[in-house]
Amino acid sequence: MARGPLTKVHRLPQMDEVWESTVRPMRAWVTPRDQEPYRPYVILVVSEIGQVVGSDTVEHMPPPERVLSTLAKAMRRPILGGGRKRRPTVIYVDDEALVEALAPKLADVGVRFEYRHTLREVDQAMRSMEQFMTKREPIPSLLDSPGVTAPLVKGVFTAAASFYREAPWRWVDDGRPIEVRYPPDGQPRYAVVMGQGGEAYGLAAYDETGDLETIYAGTPPSETMGQMAWSSLLFSEVTEMPFDDLDDMETYGWPVAGDLAYPLMIRVTRSEQVLRPGKSELLWFEAALLGIPVFVREHMQADQEFLRPAETTLTVAMADGADAIHLRYPVPGFEVPYEQVWTAADVDWEAQAEAARERNADLLGTFEAWLADSGLSAQTVRRHLDHVALFADAYMAGEGGSVEVPRPADQADEMDVDEFLTDWFVREPARVSEGAVKAHMASLKKFYTWLKETGQVEAEDADAVLEMLREDRDYYIQLARDFEDDMAGE
């Protein structure tokens, strides 16, 4: 004989009817003051025609006895609109542990209690409850989109978490779009990194440059609806996420980078439909989220004062294997004026550096012949050439010497040689030592002696460098010793 909450239930009339029941987090949030938001649990009982016949709400996951009491109450006292008192023939539930705990007890009152993976009436009732409480249409799951699988979404969530930790908005504002081609031979799309303003963080994607022009013209969002298509991944709090996505996150282990880093993805069409992204869109976002931080950091050189123009194809490690993505900055027509000036200066620098290296090649070729004619061994000649080439090409042409303007070695003066030995040489090449400084000074003496003898520089200028090398020799050597001591102390 049934006892407890099922007492007298066996006396109720039994209908040839199937019910569904579930215990799930509600599709609503409770947000107490000074506490973390949470989703209470609902015990829901629904008839085969979609009537809610019983429900109960609890703060935490209820024990089987609480579920049994809710089932008994649904049979004995259905809620308003749930129909008359009755017993169903069978109740389907989506929790195998509950079946094991409660099936024997319900069998005592002639009700079968069986497991089913999918409960269509319950699912619909849950969505109706959500719509009633939120006053809007529920956002469907990403997994409802054709071709979208749990592993694919996990790859996007993983890429989003990495993007959030990289925080490329530290360097790139939303006025600097990046052209993205994925696959590399595909049509370009235009990615906008959001977050530098401190309001919304994430990544938006536009299909056409005309859409960017509309956005940057300051057109109010209400006027852009129906005129443009765009997609976005916004980092949000858990309370802003679709409930289906949250449930799937728990089921499949999709990661997030923090409490403010839940990735909400939507696509808005030109017909003003708000949709969840499909398979190709998710793959695009996965590649872009992985590629853009690397592109910004390593190719746009975000650690410099100005972002550099760049274009490259990167390999990114996506969930289903390595793939390629092509990126370009700036997007033609969206250049930042002062970056254009900087770019022109950079091009001019490279041109000057290349001209300096060409002149150095001529100088070193003639210097080599002079060294050989002076009776030095081939090994000694090569050593002097290597030392002077470091000064001429790496320091004077590559770094611009003491005034940071690329010049050939025959335009170097005392300040250039002094800075080379006191600062650049001890910082730049590996394994600086007292012996290395002595050897480079000896080679520079040979070089300036040759420049003077052959009239490559004015005799007065060459003598000034040679005199400095003699008078300050001990000073340069002591600097090298101090550097070696510092390195040994580390």
Distance CA 29, CA 39 (A): 5
pLDDT, average across residues 476-486: 84
Domains of the chain, by residue range, sit at 4-134, 142-335, 339-489
Alpha carbon 98 to its chain centroid, in Å, reads 42
Torsion of CA 75, 76, 79, 81, to 10 degrees: 70
Q: What is the pLDDT of residues 108-160, one digit of tens each?
A: 999 999 999 999 999 999 989 888 887 778 889 999 999 999 999 999 999 99
Task: Work out the widest C-alpha separation in the chain, in whole angstroms.
Answer: 122
What letter does residue 14 receive in the DSSP assignment? B
In contact, 290 and 317? CB cutoff 8 Å: yes
More confident residue, 99 or 215: 99
CATH hierarchy code of domain 4-134? 3.30.420.230
The whole model's pTM is what? 0.67
Confidence band for 280, pLDDT divided at 50, 70 and 90: very high
Does the pLDDT value for residue 430 go beyond 60?
Answer: no
The identity of residue 458, as a single letter, is E
Handedness of CA 285, 290, 295, 296 (dihedral sign): positive
The 10 Å Cβ neighbour count of residue 457 is 19
Torsion of CA 446, 452, 456, 459, to 10 degrees: 140
Place of tokens 């005129």: 227
Q: What is the pLDDT of residues 359-383, one digit of tens each?
A: 999 999 999 999 999 999 999 999 9
In contact, 43 and 70? CB cutoff 8 Å: yes
Give the neighbor-by-neighbor strand order of the sheet with 189-194: 274-275, 262-268, 230-236, 201-206, 189-194, 178-181, 321-329, 310-318
Q: What is the pLDDT of residues 377-404, one digit of tens each?
A: 999 999 999 999 999 999 999 988 988 8
Token pair listed for 303: 């650690």
Measuring CA to CA, which residue among 295, 300, 297 is closest to residue 324? 295
pLDDT, average across residues 282-289: 98
pLDDT, average across residues 409-414: 93
Does the pLDDT value for residue 351 go beyond 90?
Answer: no
Instruction: Tell me what pLDDT residue 274 has.
Output: 87
Does the pLDDT value for residue 331 go beyond 70?
Answer: yes
Task: Please report, for residues 184, 253, 445, 469, 479, the alpha-carbon distance to residue 449 in angstroms, rounded to integers and kept in the order given.
Answer: 56, 72, 6, 12, 25
Q: What is the pLDDT of residues 17-75, one digit of tens each?
A: 999 999 999 999 998 888 899 999 999 999 999 999 999 999 999 999 999 999 999 99
More confident residue, 437 or 486: 437
* Residue percentage of the chain with pLDDT more than 90: 74
What are the E-state strand segments in 228-372?
230-236, 262-268, 274-275, 310-318, 321-329
DSSP for 180-222, please give it: EESSTTS--EEEEEE-TTSS-EEEEEES-HHHHHHHHTT--HH
Report helix, strand or coil for 278: coil
DSSP for 29-62, please give it: -B--TTS--B--EEEEEE-TTS-EEEEEEESSPP
Instruction: Tell me what pLDDT residue 345 has.
Output: 59
